[in-house]
Every structure is written in structure tokens, then in C-alpha cells.
A and B are shown apart, each in its own frame.
Chain A
Amino acid sequence: MQNIILQATNISKNFYDPVTVEVLHNVSFGIQKGEFVSIIGKSGCGKSTLLYILSTMDTDYSGELMIDGERMAQKKEKDLARIRNEKIGFVFQFHYLLNEFSVLKNVMLPALRLNKYSEEVIREKAFAKLDILGIKDLSEKKASQLSGGQKQRVAIARSLINDPAIIMGDEPTGNLDKKNSQIVFDTFKHLSEDLKQTLLIVTHDPSFAESTHRIIEMEDGRII
């Protein structure tokens, strides 16, 4: 039990638009440290909604969420921001980078916010993360000058910068071609196998899901 990084218990969520729709119904599961878990399911079954709740960005739900032994209920916006900063790395379907900043700065920003190490140490760490993703030589480029696949790898490097307890991805390859998807898959596998990084990835790709430790399948807001 000590090694449980994320525990969701009876998580339900309704949308009122304008009739009440239950998008998630009593979702419960846990993720062990070092586990590589994938979530699959038909479009519209509530995968993204679940991931937003698990990543603490969405607080409008019922049920209980524990991350790294801490209960998320009743936490203030500021504290949740801190938890996202420190414990969660998030990779989106669309490579959300800050276009005004360089690649290196994009990777460094969450660590600068955490303010645990000096800027020089953070710079070194950011280089190391970029090196893992094989894009060290892009560090001085503007984020807007990269290709889609490169951007997504920068986003993964950014999610790693604070050595988070868990990395979550919402269809991180959904917007990429086959070759780039393969690179991203291989990166996640490498993170899991060699660095024992805990991962929770939503995907539509069955072959990718097959290669993870565990598959959670969803249908109409429930786990089956």
C-alpha cells in the first residue's frame, strides 16, 4: 500500500448542459509506483474528463482522490497548483508550449516555479531531460520553430523536469504521424523500464496499450 502513487475512489462527475449528464460514474482504481498504465475506450466515454480530475485541474467532482498519500479534497487552488507543479507531469494531445520562450526555458519554467534548485542546477537538469529525449541540440530554438514531433518531445521533457511522482498523458500521440508516434511511445517505454517512472497514458492505439503493464478500459464513464 505504501507504494500507491495515485488512488481514485468512487469518482463521479456530472455536466449540466442543460440536462444533467453523468460523464463519470464511481470510477475507482489505484496506480503503484513504477507502474505503466494505459486507459483506452471509445471516443466520448470520459477519458479526458477523468484525466483532468486526476491531474487536479478539475475540482468539480465527487469521490476521493489521493496523490502520493495526500488527499486532494478541500485543498486550495494555490496548494493544488503546487501539487501539479511538484508531483504531476502532464503531456497534452496538442503540444502546448509557450511560443514566446526558448525550448530550454519551456523545460525550465516548472522547476523555476518550484524554486527548489538554483537556476544553474535547473539548467543542467533541463539539458539532461532534453538529452533523454534526444533533442539537446534544439535547446536554444524558439518553441514555435519546432516540428510537431519535436514539440511533443519537449513537452515530455518539461513534464519530467521536477521528477514528478506520475506523468499523465492525454493522447500524446493523437496529433502525430506514425514515425513520430513511435518515437514518443519508445520514449515512454524507456522512461518506464529504465527510469521506473510511473505513467498514466490515455491512448487510442491498441498496440501501444498492449505494451503497457496494465490496461484500464472505459465505457460510458465506467471502468469495465
Chain B
Amino acid sequence: MTLKLLIQIAITMLRARLRQTIVAAVGVTFGITMFVTLLSFMSGLNGMLDGLVGNRTPHIRLYNEIEPSKNQPINLSEAYKKDYNFINSIKSNNSRQEIYSANKIMQTLKEDNRVLGYSRKVASQVFFNDGAIDIAGFMNGIDVEAEMLLYSFRDYVTSGNPLDVKNRSNSIILGKPLAEKLMVSIGDIVQVATIQGERFQLKVVGYYQSGLADFDKTQSFASINTVQKILGKPSSHITDIQVKLKDMNLAPKTAKEYRQVFGVSAQDIQAANAQFETGTYIRNLISYAVGITLLIVAGFGIYNILNMMIYEKMDTIAILKATGFSGTDVKRIFMLISLSIGFFGCLLGLLLGNTLSRLISHIPFNSPAVPTIKTFPVDHNPVYYAIAIIFSLVTTYFAGWFPARKASKVDPVVIIRGK
């Protein structure tokens, strides 16, 4: 009942100063609107930029690094067992790029419940013939269905059907810039030469565009069988196994384990793309900093207006105290005023923030770098709304606390005498 009375008094005081109240609330509304919009938009952009790499990058890549053997013959010799052996200029021998016993590894991966899925790959350097010129590039023999499922391969094939690579023999998807350089379009034949000098004719069935132009300039995709055939290798020849985990954060630990268990090289996504994580982190930091600054500014607005209100309402405070309201009651009245400004300002801010971020998400955004996105990316994450509510209540609480305490300390005798 007392609280109800204090709320009534707070509302009456707010209504008597409606314009000031609205100005204060608009400050909060603006802060919250910008906070929600900024974070949703930034996080959308982050998601897009991360997707640029994260979506199509395996969490762990298993492959066979060409490197000199760590176990040189001299180490096996009984005679020099106790000595330090220094060997200069070790060279890698003609070791194979393929992963040994790939089938066994894949069998193990299938049973590992941390693994969401994996795809096989045969990668090879090739030359694309354009008249008299040879353009160096890579040819990736992929399991199209697995790539589509795990790494959104479909999104990056901007024209043509990626499944054609599997369904039509001797077909190839070229990076868009590569195709332009070779002056071939879909349906044309392109000539591919292996390092060993063998030549093959392949039919172009699509363009690939990842967003990283330099990368696209050298890449092409065909089915695993096609590449194995070109290289003259058996169907067990696999150069990469790309693993996607259920939890990306486990990648470094799991990669280390695979390195030991399978005896192959294993690179995790974090090691391969450290700079992207840093970028995401910095962008998040900036948007939080800007958002919180806006809210603090709004808090100062409330603080000022409450201070002003208290100076104007000295008589009211004195009367309330003289007629039996305690300092605590007065403090509660002003806290209620502050929190309701914060609450309603915030509510409106959430609404406007949502509207604004929806508007942004409809603005066309065409970039050759990101062919899959047609409008600005916005992440409508409810977490940002929750943070906004908490922050607005906390800032208005503190903005109200100091003026309210001052009001509670007003000495009615001083005011009554002062008249």
C-alpha cells in the first residue's frame, strides 16, 4: 500500500513535468535504439565475415606434409646410438602426398562422436591451357554432396549446378576469375595438363566464387574420380580429409590428438585463421564500447533532469517530510521516477532498435566479394535485447540513485525557513 502510494506520487510528479520526462526518456530510447541496432548489425557483419572463412574452412584438415623424414638412417645405427648426429641439407625424398590408410582414418572418424562429418579431397596442381600459355592452378577432387552438406559448397557455385560435377563425367567447375582469364563459359571445353604433362579435356559446368578473388583465380573443382583418373592414381588416393566438428572450439585439442593417433599432419581452424578471430573480437569490442557509451550519456541526461526536478520540487519534498514521509520514502519516489524513465525509454528503444535493424536488413547490399548475400546481414539476437534491458536499468538506477539520495537528505526546516 505504501509502495502503491509512492508510485502514485511518482507518477503525478512525472506528469507534472511531462516535457522534461520525455526528454530524459528519449535519451534512453536513443541509446537503446543505437545499442540494439549497432550490435545486431555488427554481429550480422561479423557472422558474414566469419562465414567467408569459417563456413567453408574445415575445423580440422588432415593431410600429409611433404617434409624430410625425422628418422634418418644414422639414428638406426647401433654404433652411433650414444652420439649426437648432425646432418646438413636434408632433402625430402619423393614421398607421396596421399594420406596412408585413409579408409581406416575415415572409419575411425565416423565413430568419433565429436565429429559432425568429414569430406575427402584429392588436391593437385595443374595447368590450364589457354592457347600457347599455361596458367598454373589447383584442381580439387571433391565429394560434392559432402561439401554441400558441410561447407555450403552450393552457395559458392554462382552459376551452374554443383551436382553436375558428380553426375556428368569429365566436368569441371572453374573459379569465376579463372574462367574469365581462360575466356571460357559454361558448356565450353577447357584443357587441363598435369605436372607430368598429361592433357585432358574437361567440360565447364559452373563457376565458383568464394569472395576472395585471388583464391578464385587459381581454383577449380571436379569429382574425386575425375581427378584420380587425371593423375593416374587408384581410388584409394586421398590427399586431404576435412573434418567438421560439432563444437568448433574443440578443434585445437582434437587436431593434436589426431596428429598422434593417425600419424598425419592436422591443422585446426583457429591456427589457420587466427587473424579472423582477432577481427571479430575487436569489432565486438568496438560495438559494445559505443553502445555502452551511448547508454552512459543517456544516464547523465537522467541524472541532470532528476537533479533539476529535485531543485524544483524542494517544497514538495519538505512538505512530504513535514507530513510524515521518511527520507527512505522520498528516495524511493525519486528512484521510481528514474527507473520508470529508464524502463519506458528502454521499451521504446527496443522497439525502435528492432524496427531500425529490420529496415537495415532490407537494404540491398551487393558485393562481388560475398555473392551469397543480397541485403545487409543483421543478427536479431535476443541476447542483445536482454543486455540492453539490463544496462538501461543499471544506468538509470545509478543515475537516479545520487539525486534520490540528495532528495532524501533535504532538511524540511531549511526549506520552510527559506520561504
Range for the number of chain B residues in contact with chain A: 20 to 34
Contact A84 B417 (CB under 8 A): no
Chain B at the A interface: mostly helix, strand, loop or mixed? helix
Which chain A residue shows the least CB distance to B324? A85
Which chain A residue shows the least CB distance to B13? A100
**Distance of A113 Cα from B15 Cα, bound (Å):** 21
**Distance of A52 Cα from B2 Cα, bound (Å):** 26
Contact B5 A113 (CB under 8 A): yes
Total CB contacts across the A-B interface at under 8 A = 72
Which residues of chain A have C-beta atoms less than 8 A from B327's C-beta? 77-78, 81
**Distance of A113 Cα from B316 Cα, bound (Å):** 15
Contact A100 B1 (CB under 8 A): no
Which residues of chain A have C-beta atoms less than 8 A from B177's C-beta? none
Which residues of chain B have C-beta atoms less than 8 A from A110's C-beta? 323-324
**Distance of A110 Cα from B12 Cα, bound (Å):** 16
Q: Does A188 contact B (CB under 8 A)?
A: no
Q: Does B412 contact A (CB under 8 A)?
A: yes
Contact A57 B322 (CB under 8 A): yes
Contact B326 A92 (CB under 8 A): no
Q: Does B318 contact A (CB under 8 A)?
A: yes
Contact B323 A90 (CB under 8 A): yes
Which chain B residue shows the least CB distance to A76? B326
**Given A96-B315, A100-B16, A101-B12, also A113-B324 (CB < 8 A):** yes
Interface centre among A55, A92, A96 (most CB of B within 10 A): A96
What's the tally of chain A residues with a CB closer than 8 Å to chain B?
29
**Distance of A112 Cα from B412 Cα, bound (Å):** 20
Contact B416 A96 (CB under 8 A): yes
Which residues of chain A have C-beta atoms less than 8 A from B322's C-beta? 55, 57, 84, 90, 92, 96
**Distance of A89 Cα from B335 Cα, bound (Å):** 28
Contact A86 B324 (CB under 8 A): yes
Interface string of B394-417 (1 = CB under 8 A from A): 000000000000000000110011
Contact B323 A115 (CB under 8 A): no
- Contacting residues of chain A (168-183) with chain B, CB-CB under 8 angstroms: none
Which residues of chain A have C-beta atoms less than 8 A from B320's C-beta? 98, 109
**Given A82-B324, A92-B416, also A98-B319 (CB < 8 A):** yes
A170 → B minimal CB distance (Å): 8
Which chain A residue shows the least CB distance to B12? A100
Which chain A residue shows the least CB distance to B318? A96
Which residues of chain B have C-beta atoms less than 8 A from A52's C-beta? 413, 416
Q: Does A158 contact B (CB under 8 A)?
A: yes
Interface string of B321-333 (1 = CB under 8 A from A): 1111111110000
- Contacting residues of chain B (125-159) with chain A, CB-CB under 8 angstroms: none
Q: Does A114 contact B (CB under 8 A)?
A: yes
Q: Does A186 contact B (CB under 8 A)?
A: no
**Distance of A90 Cα from B315 Cα, bound (Å):** 15
| B323 CB contact (under 8 Å) in A58, A77, A84 | A84
A15 → B minimal CB distance (Å): 12
Which chain A residue shows the least CB distance to B15? A100
**Distance of A113 Cα from B329 Cα, bound (Å):** 10
- Contacting residues of chain B (303-342) with chain A, CB-CB under 8 angstroms: 315-316, 318-329
B17 → A minimal CB distance (Å): 9
**Distance of A88 Cα from B237 Cα, bound (Å):** 99
Which residues of chain A have C-beta atoms less than 8 A from B323's C-beta? 84-85, 90, 109-110, 113, 158
Contact B16 A57 (CB under 8 A): no
**Distance of A210 Cα from B418 Cα, bound (Å):** 30
Q: Does B419 contact A (CB under 8 A)?
A: yes
**Distance of A112 Cα from B315 Cα, bound (Å):** 20
B12 → A minimal CB distance (Å): 5
**Distance of A22 Cα from B30 Cα, bound (Å):** 56
Interface centre among B2, B327, B416 (most CB of A within 10 A): B416
**Distance of A45 Cα from B295 Cα, bound (Å):** 54
Q: Does A97 contact B (CB under 8 A)?
A: yes
**Distance of A118 Cα from B94 Cα, bound (Å):** 98
Q: Does A192 contact B (CB under 8 A)?
A: no
Contact A94 B5 (CB under 8 A): no
- Contacting residues of chain A (53-70) with chain B, CB-CB under 8 angstroms: 55, 57-58
Contact A112 B321 (CB under 8 A): no
Which residues of chain B have C-beta atoms less than 8 A from A78's C-beta? 326-328
| B324 CB contact (under 8 Å) in A58, A84, A97, A101 | A84
Contact B321 A57 (CB under 8 A): yes
Contact B12 A81 (CB under 8 A): no
Further pairs besides A57-B322, A97-B319, A115-B5: 12, Cβ < 8 Å: A52-B416, A57-B413, A58-B413, A81-B324, A84-B323, A85-B325, A100-B15, A101-B12, A112-B1, A113-B329, A114-B324, A115-B1
A residues apposed to B, CB below 8 Å: 48, 52, 55, 57-58, 77-78, 81-82, 84-86, 90, 92-94, 96-101, 109-110, 112-115, 158
Pick 29 A–B contacts, CB within 8 A, sort by A: A48-B417, A52-B413, A55-B322, A57-B412, A57-B416, A78-B326, A78-B328, A81-B324, A81-B327, A84-B323, A85-B323, A90-B322, A96-B315, A96-B318, A96-B416, A98-B316, A98-B319, A98-B320, A99-B316, A100-B13, A100-B16, A101-B12, A109-B5, A109-B9, A110-B324, A113-B5, A113-B323, A113-B325, A115-B2
Nearest 3 A/B pairs, CB to CB: A85-B324, A81-B326, A100-B16
